[in-house]
Every structure is written in structure tokens, then in C-alpha cells.
Structure 1
């Protein structure tokens, strides 16, 4: 052992540089080992119904629509998730939810995910109605159909259009799949009128109170229509004021074992997401390239280190001390010399 130690000390620089080269070559090969850890996968559902066009939210002092506020929040949430997390974006309109794609890793597909969020638009909706309660069954079915398990984070104002009553309220007693879901409330308590927009995204009026009232007759209990809204434009005194349905969403989440949080900021959303259980626990490769590269760097730094570090530190301190004293002494002599001639 002593012989090998003496040889290492004698040829230390060569040995360290050789090890650094080996570590770098190993890092290039990107080795990994199987490691069992938590897998976090999220299905982020965005409400694109027309009530999300209500302009009652604020970003940096500017009044914006709920949709724009939701997009900004989703951008921040995705940007704060760690690498290895997988995300799928879903759209909610009418009484159903559709997944844009299967869950994908956020760091490798960051630009694609953010681009999807950036281009969310109410014109992508396939229905003018908004049936949040009905959509839960479809959401659970979509999640079961994904390529892997995922936790649901639902961004919505909770608006039901037309309004619910005893005949069109879906019974959720047998609903399965809502455990640990998160519903993020988007909108204000004061509310505002819902603009009625053209295909070119131009305001042509506002939704009326009649738009949210149930039509009489069999339409109110029809499974195919589930209520149809009046399509007329409201007058100045007949505009429907849309507010975030916080109490309704709290009641809804209690029924299915989910959690409701107010979407005041992305930090609250991220905290709630971190409190969720992982989507699954599985064996995944743990990369070792960073470790080998770090060891290579330490070996290179080691070639510049002194063979006797403590002795070298003491010598350096003595040199610095001597230099400081000599400078102070020289300066004091110069000042005394100037004072003498004055």
C-alpha cells in the first residue's frame, strides 16, 4: 500500500490527468443505472368555453380575459416543473374533454408545450355550452386512456351554462377517478359581462341572462342537448354577469374527493401540485454523466494543488504578511519625508 501511495505522490499529475481523461470518456457515453423513483405526470385541462373570454382578471396592472390569465398561469406552472416531469394539455368545452397529446417530458418538449398553451383559443371549442359536472366522467375516461397514469389539474371558472337544476344535475355518487384532482378557480368574485365574439374574434355584443336559463320542455332533461342556450345578443340592461363559481367548485370537489384552490397565483398551484401523490412509482434510468464529469473536473483541479497544502498555505500567509508590512513601512517613511521638507 505504501509503495502505491509513494508512486502516486511521485507521479500525481500524470495519474490525475489520466483519471480525468477516463472520467470524461465515460461521461460522453452517458451511462445510467436503474433507479426506482416517483414519476410525476400531469394532465392540465384548460377551460376554453366562452365565459373564459370575460375580462375581469389583471396581469401586471392590465385588465385581461380569464383565458389570457389562465394561459399566463399555465406558462409559469410548466416553466417551474422539474425535468423528468411529463405533461399533457387537455381542452374542456361543452360536456367533454379532449387531450391534445399523450404526456411528454417537459424539458425535451418545452417549446412544444408552451406553444400549445400560447395558442389556446375559445374558437377551438366544439360546443357553445359549458357543462363542467358532466365533463368529469369524460375526463376520467380520457385519463384512463392516456399512455400512462396522470394527475388532473383543471383550470376553469366553474361556469355552468345553461344553469343547473334538479333535472339536469348529474349524480356523482358512483363517479370514480376524482381522487386528488385539483380544480383551479379562474375569475373574479365581482365578475363581468361575457362578450359574444365573431369568428374574427371581434366583439358583436354580450350574452344575455336568457342565455343561461334552461329552455322549457324536454330539452331540459335531454341527454343529447343537456340544455341549449339562447343565442341572442343582450341589451344594455340584460347582460349576464359571469363570476367565478367558487362555492360551486368547492361543493363539486368535495363530492368527488378532489381539491379546490383559488387561482390567485402560480405559486399556490405549484404547492398544491407538489402535495399531490405521484402518478406512479417506476424504475427509470438515473444518469451518471454529470457525476463523471464532476470527478474529471476535480482531478484537473487536483493537478494544480500543492503536494503539501498546509505548508503552502503557511508560506503564502507569511509572504502576504511581509508584503503588507513592507508597504505600510514604505508609506510611513514617505509621509515623514514630506513632512520634514514642509
Structure 2
């Protein structure tokens, strides 16, 4: 029986291949799918829009840019490399709170809207002059619990607290729950620079002074959270400037306190790998299209119809002639070199 089918195949080879190609193409037209199980990651990308993020101490494409511009660039790259089924929300951090601009959206379906949101991130969106990262964690946790699905928080911040932390305004995070799957991406340089003071029209009028970040030790935490914590003074000399830098040690300590992870924001690939390496709490069964597999098989069948014994024999003959020509040229060249050496 096997011999009979083999003889029939050899006799009607081209017809069988064309029939297989037609069958595969018809199958591809129906767009068949198979169910597969995959992890679903949902991220809440939080941009620090406080004024310290206006400090220009980060290099991007050979020029120095502000931390906020660098954050926006990194967000763009991360979104562009996420799988289509990933869900994403963009948020803002200022003062002691975080605001979500929308509930998580699927990346590919809302690709343009997400990128446009990132493009329009601006320090003037901040609703207060404070930068109380530690205080914002409780509000972020509450916000994530209101999300329709399990979501991972990714803070893009320099870790600069204003007013400066002391014993009276440092929240005790002992017993904090919900930090698993959170990430703090440190933006800025370790060297530090002054924070530019800008007008509502985004015009620079100077730098924030040291006094702008001072707060009296006896100010109650509630009062401090309601006030800006800064005055309107401008640094009159370089030594008056408040020097801001990426506070990596503080962010790392903060991450350890709540069970989160700290990542240096120097490389987008490292940040992307870190947030994707964390296990996903959600799975879903989705249809996986196999139409491209059937189309590829149809193409291979059509290609196989053009391959015959005669064509294989001609290819071998042509390849043999080519090898002979190459050998003849190499042999002639070696004889020429030997002849020249003999006369020298």
C-alpha cells in the first residue's frame, strides 16, 4: 500500500503539490485560530511632574535635556516595545498624590492616544509645588485597587522630596501592603544641578534657592501637606542654589520598605526587562492565528513544483563548472606567482 501511494505521488507530483497549495490557501482565507494561554501585564506609568524634574542633567542623543523630557522619551520607547496585549495607563505625580489620566488601555488599539498623552506631559500639570513621594504611596495603592484589573505601578522620579524629610514629616511605612510589583525608576544624574524656576509661560527666571526647600521642624504634617513648602525667592548666586540630584539611595531604601524594586533609569532596555520579568497575576486565553503558517506552506508547495530532476541535474552541472573555473583561476595564479619568484 505504501509503495502504491509513493508511485502515485511520483507520477502526479505536481498535481498533488498544487492541490496541497490550494487547500492551504483556502484554509488561510478562513483565518483559522487556535486557543493559547498567555500572561497579561498591566502597567501604570507615573510621571513625576514636580519642578525638580525640570533640572537639566540627563544626556539624550548627545544633548543635555530635562529629567521630564528624558522621562517622556523613555516612556515612548517602553510603550513602543510592549506586546500588543499589554494594558497601560498614564499617571501624574505631584504633591502627595497621584492622578490617573485614564483606566488601562490596550497598547496597540490605543497606541496613538497613549503616545499623544506622553507628548503632552508638562510640569505645569502639577497641582501643588510640593514633592512628597513617600506620602503619595498610600494614595497610589488606593488608586490601583480601584483599577479594573491587577496593575503594576512604575514611578519615573528623581526621588527629590520637597519639603525635605525630617522626623516630623516622614511617614512610617511599616505594614504597608501592595508594594509587590511596584517599580521606582531613578531619573537624573548623581552629580546634581540647580532646579530652574520657570514662569507660567515656561520662561526661566532663575534657580530655586536653598531657602525655598526649608521647612520648620515644628510644622505639623497636615499643615505642611497643605502649604507649598517653598517661597518665591530665587538664588542670587551659585552657592545659594538648591542642588538637586537623583536620590538613588533614598529610592532604593523606599523600595525595600514596601517590597518594591528600584531601577536606575540610565537604560530603557534594562527598565523594560525589569518590569516585564516580574510575574503577571493575570492570564487569558486568546485566539492565535495560524493563517500565516498555511500561507507559508502553500508558498513552499508552489516552489516545490518548479523543482524537478532535470533542474537539480542542471544545477549540479552548473555548480560543477563553476568549481572547475575557480580551481583553474587559482591554479593559474599560483603558477604565475611561482614563475615570477623563479626569475627574481
Equivalent in the alignment of 1:139: 140
Equivalent in the alignment of 1:43: 44
Count of aligned residue pairs for this structure pair: 326
**3-state SS in 2 of match to 1:225:** helix
Equivalent in the alignment of 2:220: 220
2:269 aligns with one of 267, 276, 286: 267
Inter-CA distance 316–225: structure 2 relative to 1 (3 Å threshold): closer
Question: Displacement of 1:224 after TM fit?
Answer: 7.8
Does 2:26 align with 1:25? Answer: yes
Q: CA-to-partner distance for each residue in 1:26-52, whole Å, 9 max, x for gaps?
A: 333332222222222222111111110
Equivalent in the alignment of 1:63: 64
2:305 aligns with one of 293, 303, 306: 303
TM score, norm. by length of structure 1: 0.86
Q: Is the 8 A contact 1:95 1:130 kept in 2?
A: yes
Structure 1 distance, partners of 2:227, 2:63, is: 35
**3-state SS in 2 of match to 1:84:** coil
Inter-CA distance 265–300: structure 2 relative to 1 (3 Å threshold): same
**3-state SS in 2 of match to 1:184:** strand
Indicate the larger mover: 317-326 or 249-258.
317-326
Q: CA-to-partner distance for each residue in 1:302-339, whole Å, 9 max, x for gaps?
A: 22222x4xx8535532344357758969xx9xxxxxxx
Query: Which 4+ residue blocks in structure 1 deviate beyond 6 angstroms?
Result: 326-329
Structure 2 distance, partners of 1:260, 1:269, is: 10
Question: Displacement of 1:215 after TM fit?
Answer: 4.4
Equivalent in the alignment of 1:13: 14
Question: Displacement of 1:54 after TM fit?
Answer: 0.6
Does 2:290 align with 1:282? Answer: no
Question: Displacement of 1:183 after TM fit?
Answer: 0.8
**3-state SS in 1 of match to 2:73:** helix
Equivalent in the alignment of 2:202: 201
Indicate the larger mover: 274-283 or 238-247.
274-283
- CA RMSD after TM alignment: 2.6
Does 2:121 align with 1:126? Answer: no
Equivalent in the alignment of 1:337: none
Equivalent in the alignment of 2:320: 321
**3-state SS in 2 of match to 1:222:** helix
Equivalent in the alignment of 1:248: 250
Equivalent in the alignment of 1:233: 233
1:53-92 to 2 correspondence within 5 Å? 53-92=54-93
Structure 2 distance, partners of 1:323, 1:214, is: 85
Question: Displacement of 1:279 after TM fit?
Answer: 4.0
Structure 1 distance, partners of 2:108, 2:263, is: 27
Q: Is the 8 A contact 2:168 2:217 kept in 1?
A: no
Q: CA-to-partner distance for each residue in 1:81-128, whole Å, 9 max, x for gaps?
A: 233322222211111112222223323333322222222111122222
Structure 2 distance, partners of 1:28, 1:102, is: 36
Q: CA-to-partner distance for each residue in 1:20-77, whole Å, 9 max, x for gaps?
A: 3332333333322222222222221111111100111111221111111111122222
Structure 2 distance, partners of 1:20, 1:101, is: 48
Indicate the larger mover: 48-57 or 238-247.
238-247
Q: Is the 8 A contact 1:210 1:229 kept in 2?
A: no
Equivalent in the alignment of 2:162: 161
Question: Displacement of 1:16 after TM fit?
Answer: 2.7
Does 2:170 align with 1:183? Answer: no
Question: Displacement of 1:5 after TM fit?
Answer: 4.1
Q: CA-to-partner distance for each residue in 1:175-208, whole Å, 9 max, x for gaps?
A: 1111132211001122111112112111123222
Structure 1 distance, partners of 2:251, 2:258, is: 11
Q: Is the 8 A contact 1:220 1:227 kept in 2?
A: no
